[in-house]
A and B are shown apart, each in its own frame.
Chain A
Amino acid sequence: MRRSRMLKKESPNVSRHLNENVRTMKEQFSYGLNKDFSMRSLTIAFNQKQGRMFYYSSTVNGEQMNLHIIKPLLENEGKDITDIVSVNNIQALTDFETIKEYINSGKAVLFVDHDSQAYGMDIASFEHRNIFKAENENVIKGPQDAFTESLNANISLIRKQLHQSQLINEGIQVGERSKNEVNILYNKDLVNPDILENVRQRIKDINVDTVRNIELLEQYLEERPYSLIPTILYTEKPDKATSYLEDGFIILLMDTSAAALIVPVNFWCFFHTPEDRYLRFLYGNFSRAIRLLCFFLSSLISAIYVAVSNFHSEMIPPDLLLAITASRERVPFPLIFEVIIMEVAFELIREAGVRIPNPLGPTIGIVGALILGQAAVEANIISPIIVIIAAVSGLSSFALSEININFTIRISRFIFIFAAGFFGMLSLVGAFLLFVMYTASIKSFGVPYFSPMSPHFLSPNDTIFRKVIRREWLRPNYLKPKDLVKKRHR
């Protein structure tokens, strides 16, 4: 805070003398040393005054600059600079602080002799990828496009789906040294003003040098950084973001990330994918049922196996019991150790698989399958049933594709395994209950985590299962939207 005030004090206003301004600019941006910082001198045609334009050659669109700024300035007649220049956004600037921000965010600034204001012109064009298919949130049925690292592209992807004047795109500056912009998207007629104000305030309260992208912003925004449970939803799919906008949620975007943040959220948001709604009622709910099963399998199956076989062996049907016992007779480790070995091995493959360079990708499959499967069993390191258990628990974790909840489950799985090894079902049930209670106590921007199931709120009841789409005529009331009832299809 203090530093920024000092900076402000130093930054003087634009002077009437061009030379003075040019000197200040050169000083501030280390002209000459900073290679892509460019200055262009020109004589403006209509008033025959000297002008100097400053910009980063790497961040502006050169063609646009020539066509819409330089050419008109050199050739056209008119009264005022704003009339002559044909870029879509031109702003008169008076202090150097703002000018700096402008240039840093990729715009060009024009100084004119004997003019106490400068002109900021938006011809910024940061390089970014084109719009590709979503890589991590795959759907079979539904739009395939994904956000890319460009704010304009991202907003255009959203606006394409939502033709509404009530859809507001608000910008807030964040960061002290590098001022980046966070865009808040919401539907003016729906959003709950308290939550919106809360979000705004939290973004404003972020007091750090830079917030480079949305992934970092997520961590600055959340209430409980040490918690196992995510409270902000991260998505790379514009259609998912839009569907939340429609219900009165708030979307955060930044220029530097190919993803959006959705706030506030509850548990179910992490559990859903957009495809649930694109698929027909039964199909979508079937896939949800499978995913629910995966949730339990992934977090609990290893723990249950440990608890049952170490403490409650009477529960296993005799054939299976004898089979497991036979295969375990030559294994040198306690059962819980076996399970942990396999789970760790699986995590290992997974982590390596993410980091491995693409050409080596197939190798990991072969090595992993060999190590984890046959070789380990044949070497009597583990018993074959553990391979099945670890495979099931690992595989089911992929069904929960949301990256945050995915980590939650993978970590909690280990907690449950330890709990199960401690006192069997007694401690496992205790641990699970406490886990559920802890989750229930979490609030995301004031919204209880298990709402609308408990505490109950009017809502489309889109929790574990969803209703037929034509019967979803409410918006989730836990957001306290301004308008609860949707237009109803009868």
Chain B
Amino acid sequence: MKGHVFFIAIAMIMLTGCFDRIELEQQSYVIAVGIDKTEEEGQYNYTYQIANPAVGSAAVQSGPNEPPAEIVTVKGSDILGATNTANSFVSKKITLDHTKIIVISEELARSKDFLGIIQSGSRTPQIRRGVELVVSKESASDFINNNQPIMEQRPHKYYQFMLSRAKQTGIIPNATLHRFFQITEGDADLFLGIYATTMQSDQKDNGEQDQYIAGEIPQRGGSPTQFMGSAVFKEGQMIDTLTGEETRFSHILDKTMDMKDFLATMPDPVKPDFRITYDYSQKQSPQIDFTYHKNKPSTIKVEIPFQIEVIAIPSLVDYSQNRKGRQKLRKAIIQRFEEKTSAFIEQSQTQYRSDPFYWSLYARPHFKNIKAYEKADWHKKIYPNAEVSVTYKMDKLEFGKMINDSKINEVRD
């Protein structure tokens, strides 16, 4: 009899569970967190995008009017406190474990308080180091509210697909919290956050692809959200934005960022009225040769191996079979890349006085201990004064699957 009572007691304890046990349906899963400034000092608006489990599930018929996500905004001083407050009007416990992105308004990103806020968020194990930092041109709550994807209704899917594809083409950087802390705490280099907006204010149409930042891309139809370019952070504070193309150059120059390939156009070297479309891909990381000089400017030699596949030649110039033409094209491409890269590097040296390529890594082996390294000061002394030379090395020049374009004149004849 004693045994039975004991058994029942144990079973009761185990069935009722304790402390950290919580049922799945008692939690709300936050997919995106937005942070905005308010008028008050030290108070911020936190916006939570909470996934609605019923939408997109085959098992349960959801009402036609149920939105795929619930979006709430609360005021608070830090993310955990705000989460707690939000529970006063969100029926279930808010869980941040599945957060995919943190959206920060540009206004907040440019203020001094930003670092403190984001650090308090990383204290909780709920926010992963893999969460991506997105800077929005408008306020974060507007961004999340306006972001209405059409095809991928479930927000986490949308962010996942959107970001991973954009990253593969190099127009947005890899901006995890992990990277943010490393670069910011390392006190060298610049961190690039993802730049995005839902406001299409001043659309530019300059013919050159990818020289946009988010909001400038001419677009008709589709979702209003644009992810393009990056926000430059120096010492935990946003200082500028980069266009998609510039972001790509950071990808090319940085071995810690992966990029698959991208399509771009350039003027035809033979007939400058036409443009050539090509596919750039980079199989190896760049070779960076850093020589440290204590009293004179250090030198950085960069060599970038790359491959080009020409996709379209509307000018119909026969590059593929003409050796001279090939040479010319090759030179033009290399020259174009080198010029643009050098200009970008120079801009970073003069304007930002630091680099978004994580090049401080290559300086580190030249020092024996951290004291010496920190004294040498990458931000202030080494990088802005360094002599950088960039060379591109083309490994391959391919012409796609068509050997030659058909002559339009002959076709029309």
Question: A residues within 8 Å of B by Cβ?
Answer: 309-311, 313-314, 318-319, 321-330, 334-337, 383-384, 418-419, 421-424
Could you tell me if B97 and A335 are in contact, using CB atoms closer than 8 angstroms? Answer: no
Q: How far is the CB of B375 from chain A (nearest CB, A)?
A: 42
Q: How far is the CB of B100 from chain A (nearest CB, A)?
A: 8
Taken together as a complex, chains A and B put the C-alpha atoms of A314 and B20 apart, in Å, by: 13
**Quick one: which of A319, A327, A418, A423 contacts B157, CB cutoff 8 A?**
A319
Q: How far is the CB of B66 from chain A (nearest CB, A)?
A: 11
Q: Which of B7-15, B164-172, B200-208 contacts A (4 or more CB under 8 A)?
A: B7-15
Q: Is B29's beta carbon under 8 Å from chain A?
A: yes
Chain B residues positioned under 8 Å from A322 (CB to CB):
29, 51, 53, 56-57, 154
Chain B residues positioned under 8 Å from A309 (CB to CB):
23-24
Could you tell me if A321 and B24 are in contact, using CB atoms closer than 8 angstroms? Answer: yes
26 contacts between A and B (CB under 8 A): A310-B17, A310-B22, A310-B23, A311-B20, A311-B21, A311-B22, A313-B97, A314-B97, A322-B29, A322-B51, A322-B57, A323-B58, A325-B29, A326-B53, A327-B59, A328-B23, A328-B24, A328-B25, A329-B53, A334-B23, A335-B24, A337-B15, A384-B59, A418-B10, A422-B13, A422-B17
Taken together as a complex, chains A and B put the C-alpha atoms of A282 and B60 apart, in Å, by: 44
| Of listed B13, B22, B97, residue having the most chain A CB within 10 A | B97
Q: A313-B95, A319-B157 are in contact. Are A330 and B17 (CB under 8 A)?
A: no
Q: A326-B59, A328-B25 are in contact. Are A318 and B156 (CB under 8 A)?
A: yes
Could you tell me if B51 and A318 are in contact, using CB atoms closer than 8 angstroms? Answer: yes
Taken together as a complex, chains A and B put the C-alpha atoms of A335 and B22 apart, in Å, by: 10
Taken together as a complex, chains A and B put the C-alpha atoms of A264 and B280 apart, in Å, by: 69
Q: Is B98's beta carbon under 8 Å from chain A?
A: yes
Taken together as a complex, chains A and B put the C-alpha atoms of A270 and B53 apart, in Å, by: 44
4 A-B pairs with least C-beta separation: A314-B97, A326-B57, A326-B53, A325-B53
Taken together as a complex, chains A and B put the C-alpha atoms of A311 and B21 apart, in Å, by: 5
Chain A residues positioned under 8 Å from B59 (CB to CB):
323, 326-327, 383-384
Q: Mark B142-166, 1 if CB is under 8 A from A, else 0.
A: 0000000000001011000000000
**Smallest CB gap from A421: residue in B:** B14
Could you tell me if B24 and A313 are in contact, using CB atoms closer than 8 angstroms? Answer: yes
Could you tell me if B21 and A424 are in contact, using CB atoms closer than 8 angstroms? Answer: yes
Taken together as a complex, chains A and B put the C-alpha atoms of A321 and B27 apart, in Å, by: 11
Q: A337-B15, A422-B13 are in contact. Are A310 and B21 (CB under 8 A)?
A: yes
Chain B residues positioned under 8 Å from A330 (CB to CB):
60
Q: How far is the CB of A142 from chain B (nearest CB, A)?
A: 43
Chain B residues positioned under 8 Å from A335 (CB to CB):
23-24
Taken together as a complex, chains A and B put the C-alpha atoms of A371 and B22 apart, in Å, by: 28
Chain A residues positioned under 8 Å from B62 (CB to CB):
326
Could you tell me if B54 and A336 are in contact, using CB atoms closer than 8 angstroms? Answer: no
Q: Is B402's beta carbon under 8 Å from chain A?
A: no
Q: Is B1's beta carbon under 8 Å from chain A?
A: no
Q: Is B18's beta carbon under 8 Å from chain A?
A: yes
Taken together as a complex, chains A and B put the C-alpha atoms of A319 and B97 apart, in Å, by: 14
Could you tell me if A325 and B24 are in contact, using CB atoms closer than 8 angstroms? Answer: yes
Could you tell me if B14 and A422 are in contact, using CB atoms closer than 8 angstroms? Answer: yes
Q: How far is the CB of A253 from chain B (nearest CB, A)?
A: 37
Could you tell me if B154 and A319 are in contact, using CB atoms closer than 8 angstroms? Answer: yes
Taken together as a complex, chains A and B put the C-alpha atoms of A150 and B20 apart, in Å, by: 59
**Smallest CB gap from A307: residue in B:** B21
Q: How far is the CB of B105 from chain A (nearest CB, A)?
A: 25
Could you tell me if B27 and A423 are in contact, using CB atoms closer than 8 angstroms? Answer: no
Q: How many A-B residue pairs have CB under 8 A?
A: 93
Taken together as a complex, chains A and B put the C-alpha atoms of A335 and B23 apart, in Å, by: 7
Taken together as a complex, chains A and B put the C-alpha atoms of A300 and B23 apart, in Å, by: 20
Could you tell me if B21 and A326 are in contact, using CB atoms closer than 8 angstroms? Answer: no
Main secondary structure of the interface of B (DSSP, over half): loop
Q: How far is the CB of A147 from chain B (nearest CB, A)?
A: 38
Chain B residues positioned under 8 Å from A314 (CB to CB):
95, 97-98, 126
Could you tell me if B15 and A327 are in contact, using CB atoms closer than 8 angstroms? Answer: no
Taken together as a complex, chains A and B put the C-alpha atoms of A318 and B58 apart, in Å, by: 15
Could you tell me if B27 and A313 are in contact, using CB atoms closer than 8 angstroms? Answer: yes
Could you tell me if B24 and A336 are in contact, using CB atoms closer than 8 angstroms? Answer: no
| Beyond known contacts A324-B24, A327-B60, A336-B14: 14 more, CB 8 A cutoff | A313-B22, A313-B27, A314-B126, A322-B29, A325-B24, A326-B54, A326-B59, A327-B57, A335-B23, A336-B17, A422-B13, A422-B17, A423-B18, A424-B21
Taken together as a complex, chains A and B put the C-alpha atoms of A18 and B27 apart, in Å, by: 93
Q: How far is the CB of A431 from chain B (nearest CB, A)?
A: 11
Q: How far is the CB of A269 from chain B (nearest CB, A)?
A: 32
Chain A residues positioned under 8 Å from B58 (CB to CB):
323
Could you tell me if A424 and B56 are in contact, using CB atoms closer than 8 angstroms? Answer: no
**Smallest CB gap from B28: residue in A:** A325
Chain A residues positioned under 8 Å from B22 (CB to CB):
310-311, 313
Taken together as a complex, chains A and B put the C-alpha atoms of A325 and B56 apart, in Å, by: 12
Could you tell me if A418 and B25 are in contact, using CB atoms closer than 8 angstroms? Answer: no
Taken together as a complex, chains A and B put the C-alpha atoms of A203 and B237 apart, in Å, by: 83
Q: A313-B97, A328-B24 are in contact. Are A321 and B29 (CB under 8 A)?
A: yes
Could you tell me if A329 and B54 are in contact, using CB atoms closer than 8 angstroms? Answer: yes
**Smallest CB gap from B92: residue in A:** A325
**Smallest CB gap from A330: residue in B:** B60
Q: Mark B121-132, 1 if CB is under 8 A from A, else 0.
A: 000001000000
**Smallest CB gap from A318: residue in B:** B156
Chain A residues positioned under 8 Å from B156 (CB to CB):
318-319
Chain B residues positioned under 8 Å from A321 (CB to CB):
24, 29, 53, 98
Q: How far is the CB of B78 from chain A (nearest CB, A)?
A: 21
Within 8 A of A (CB), among B56-83: 56-60, 62
Q: How far is the CB of A241 from chain B (nearest CB, A)?
A: 38
Chain A residues positioned under 8 Å from B18 (CB to CB):
422-423
**Quick one: which of A319, A325, A329, A419 contacts B14, CB cutoff 8 A?**
A419
Taken together as a complex, chains A and B put the C-alpha atoms of A337 and B53 apart, in Å, by: 22
**Smallest CB gap from B100: residue in A:** A318
Taken together as a complex, chains A and B put the C-alpha atoms of A421 and B13 apart, in Å, by: 9
Taken together as a complex, chains A and B put the C-alpha atoms of A108 and B23 apart, in Å, by: 73
Could you tell me if B17 and A421 are in contact, using CB atoms closer than 8 angstroms? Answer: yes
Q: How far is the CB of A183 from chain B (nearest CB, A)?
A: 39
Q: How far is the CB of B400 from chain A (nearest CB, A)?
A: 37
Q: How far is the CB of A311 from chain B (nearest CB, A)?
A: 6
Taken together as a complex, chains A and B put the C-alpha atoms of A337 and B11 apart, in Å, by: 11
Q: A319-B154, A322-B57, A327-B59 are in contact. Are A421 and B21 (CB under 8 A)?
A: yes
Could you tell me if B11 and A418 are in contact, using CB atoms closer than 8 angstroms? Answer: yes
Taken together as a complex, chains A and B put the C-alpha atoms of A318 and B97 apart, in Å, by: 10
Chain B residues positioned under 8 Å from A384 (CB to CB):
59
Chain A residues positioned under 8 Å from B24 (CB to CB):
309-310, 313, 321, 324-325, 328, 335
Within 8 A of A (CB), among B319-339: none
Q: How far is the CB of B73 from chain A (nearest CB, A)?
A: 22
Q: How far is the CB of A336 from chain B (nearest CB, A)?
A: 6
Within 8 A of A (CB), among B279-322: none
| Of listed A313, A324, A335, residue having the most chain B CB within 10 A | A313
Within 8 A of A (CB), among B98-127: 98, 126
Chain B residues positioned under 8 Å from A421 (CB to CB):
14-15, 17, 21
Chain A residues positioned under 8 Å from B57 (CB to CB):
322-323, 326-327
**Smallest CB gap from B20: residue in A:** A311
Taken together as a complex, chains A and B put the C-alpha atoms of A310 and B24 apart, in Å, by: 7
Chain B residues positioned under 8 Å from A311 (CB to CB):
20-22
Chain B residues positioned under 8 Å from A310 (CB to CB):
17, 21-24
Chain B residues positioned under 8 Å from A313 (CB to CB):
22, 24, 27, 95, 97
Q: A311-B21, A335-B24, A424-B20 are in contact. Are A326 and B60 (CB under 8 A)?
A: yes
Q: How far is the CB of B234 from chain A (nearest CB, A)?
A: 33
Q: How far is the CB of A233 from chain B (nearest CB, A)?
A: 30
Q: How far is the CB of B56 from chain A (nearest CB, A)?
A: 7
Chain A residues positioned under 8 Å from B27 (CB to CB):
313, 325
Could you tell me if A318 and B21 are in contact, using CB atoms closer than 8 angstroms? Answer: no
Chain B residues positioned under 8 Å from A329 (CB to CB):
25, 53-54, 60
Chain B residues positioned under 8 Å from A325 (CB to CB):
24-25, 27, 29, 53
Chain A residues positioned under 8 Å from B11 (CB to CB):
418
Taken together as a complex, chains A and B put the C-alpha atoms of A462 and B154 apart, in Å, by: 50
**Smallest CB gap from B155: residue in A:** A318
